[in-house]
A and B are shown apart, each in its own frame.
Chain A
Amino acid sequence: MSPLFDLAVAVARIAVFISFCLGLVVILTWVERKGAAYIQDRRGPNRARILGLTLGGIFHPLADAIKFLFKEDFIPDGAHRLFYQMAPMFALAPAIMTMAVIPFGPPVTIAGHQIPLQIADLNVGILYLFAISGMTVYGVVLAGWASNSKYPLLGGLRSSAQMLSYEVSMGLSVVGILMVFQSVQLSEIARGQGELLFGILPKWGVFVQPLGFILFLTALYAEANRTPFDLPEGESELVAGYHTEYGSFKFSMFMMAEYIHMVVGSAVLVTLFFGGWQFPYLADAGFAFPGGVSFAVPAWAVLSLRIGSFVVKTVFFCWVYVWVRWTIPRFRYDQVMRLGWKVMLPLALINIFVTGLVLLLIDKGI
């Protein structure tokens, strides 16, 4: 195996996965605006046109990007110049970096080499994920503090408290999954979900850990600062929250970070709780349904079905983010804290206890 081949494969994987992420981000901004409009009985974006085509406003993300690029790139008086400029990068970089450990599909064999469809198949996958996503709070806090303005500071402080408290329940809610699949490596967890539970259900995380799923989903929304937990940018109280003083492309970097968070968050959710790239009842050789019915499927079709199922599941959960945003109103700040510490944390601990007990009983053969 030549080092050049390795390098080419690594670069190609990074390019494909990053462009998948960013492409989805672009589409998501449009989906969010259009979806919000239809949910609220409005028409939504429908003006930007290229060659007389509007296509339901699909060109609006492009128009937005061009608008942001051509806006004045200012730094307010009194802002800490270095930190003010660093904050959007600190928000965006960890969001993209978490993509590295998500398995997009099973390993493929090309020219005798086995290539995992994952940028880095770390054996500490989950820990890496939490370590990096924990860093996103720096971007928000730095932005809030460096702007030298009251509302961003309040937004940054809220965000730090909220993200720290939900990080705890998020980590604990995943422990059950780690116990069931006995690995912290995401590719192992995705592979483990290909088995069947009681011979009928796919052994997806959501079926073995329903409570863990609900807790993780809630914590994920809080981590991504999405409604109903978008306290850091509560417009009614804080103007625009931590990015009030930002304009032009710096602002759009914060927006991109938020949407990349949604994409990566959905991908993590799918990997941990919805079988990752597993297609229900699809084994390496073909479909094998519980009733004993099975038929063979060529290998390329299996691979594309699996990657396709991962993409479809991820896109679906991105839509759930949007859907939830326009359904549930924002929590009050003390309610957020109460939910985090008094409800989610005990439930996550109970979930771990019950999972451990059940696993022990199964192990003893009872």
Chain B
Amino acid sequence: MAIRVVKVARPEKMSFGESVYLLEIVKGLGVTMRHFLRNMARQENIPTIEYPEVRRVMPARFRGCHRLMKRPGGAPRCVACYMCATACPAKCITIVAGESPDPKIEKYPVRFDIDMLRCVFCGQCVEACPVDAIRMDTGWYTMPENTREKLIYTIDMLLEK
């Protein structure tokens, strides 16, 4: 690739009034005072989102925290096939399978833990699932916690979301 010369538009030479600097300072003070008074008068126009109380609405395809889907009866839709755990590049899904009481279903997950500290939110588990049991459509990222144990989401927590 040839080297291109980019001509940056430099401001022209400062006029005398600008180089004295005082008038420009006063103008700048005017700008900041305008912002100050405007924000004092109309606080609702400040664009800050006050996070824990107000949450930003995430776009529809945002990959957020996982949730497990339920069958009409309330049992987990998951069939404990280990596809998601196998697809997971971060190895953050731990599944322990058990025999399902329902004769039509072979297995169900006794344990289904997601270590949110290791999850990279890639969505591979959602892609891999054959029965659409796991989704990442909660629209929110991991909440901060003060211990590591609280960030290992168990099957009950995932079903509730």
Contacts and interface: CB of A to CB of B under 8 A. Distances in A.
Interface size bracket, A side: 10 to 19
Contacts of B25: 324, 327-328
B36 A35 contact: yes
B28 A40 contact: no
Contacts of A41: 35, 39, 46-47
Contacts of A324: 25, 29
B33 interface: yes
B50 interface: yes
A42 B48 contact: yes
A214 B39 contact: no
Contact of A42 (B28, B29, B46): B46
A327 B24 CA distance: 11
B5 interface: no
B46 A43 contact: yes
B46 A39 contact: no
Contacts of A353: none
Nearest to A343: B21
B32 A323 contact: yes
A38 interface: yes
Given A38-B36, A40-B35, A41-B35, A327 B46 contact: no
Contact of B35 (A39, A43, A214, A328): A39
Nearest to A56: B43
B31 A43 contact: no
A323 B48 contact: no
A324 B25 CA distance: 9
Contacts of B32: 39, 323, 326-327
A35 B35 CA distance: 10
Contacts of B110: none
Interface string A140-170: 0000000000000000000000000000000
Contacts of A328: 25, 28
A326 B39 CA distance: 15
Interface size bracket, B side: 10 to 19
A38 B35 contact: yes
Contacts of A43: 43, 46, 48, 50
B14 to A, nearest CB: 14
A191 B85 CA distance: 84
Contact of A38 (B22, B40, B47, B50): B40
Contacts of A38: 35-36, 39-40
Nearest to B43: A43
A327 B48 contact: no
Contacts of B31: 327
Interface string A24-54: 0000000000010011111100000000000
A323 B28 CA distance: 10
Interface string B32-68: 1101100110010011101000000000000000000
A43 B36 CA distance: 11
B137 to A, nearest CB: 31
A327 B29 contact: yes
A39 B48 contact: no
A40 B48 CA distance: 11
A42 B36 CA distance: 10
B19 to A, nearest CB: 11
Nearest to A35: B36
A157 B67 CA distance: 58
Contacts of B40: 38
A42 B22 CA distance: 27
A326 B35 CA distance: 11
B140 to A, nearest CB: 22
25 contacts: A38-B35, A38-B36, A38-B39, A38-B40, A39-B35, A40-B35, A41-B35, A41-B39, A41-B46, A41-B47, A42-B46, A43-B43, A43-B46, A43-B48, A43-B50, A214-B22, A323-B36, A324-B25, A324-B29, A326-B32, A327-B28, A327-B29, A327-B31, A328-B25, A328-B28
Interface of B: 22, 25, 28-29, 31-33, 35-36, 39-40, 43, 46-48, 50
Given A38-B35, A40-B35, A326-B32, 14 more contacts: A38-B39, A38-B40, A39-B36, A39-B39, A41-B39, A41-B47, A43-B43, A214-B22, A324-B25, A324-B29, A327-B25, A327-B28, A327-B32, A328-B25
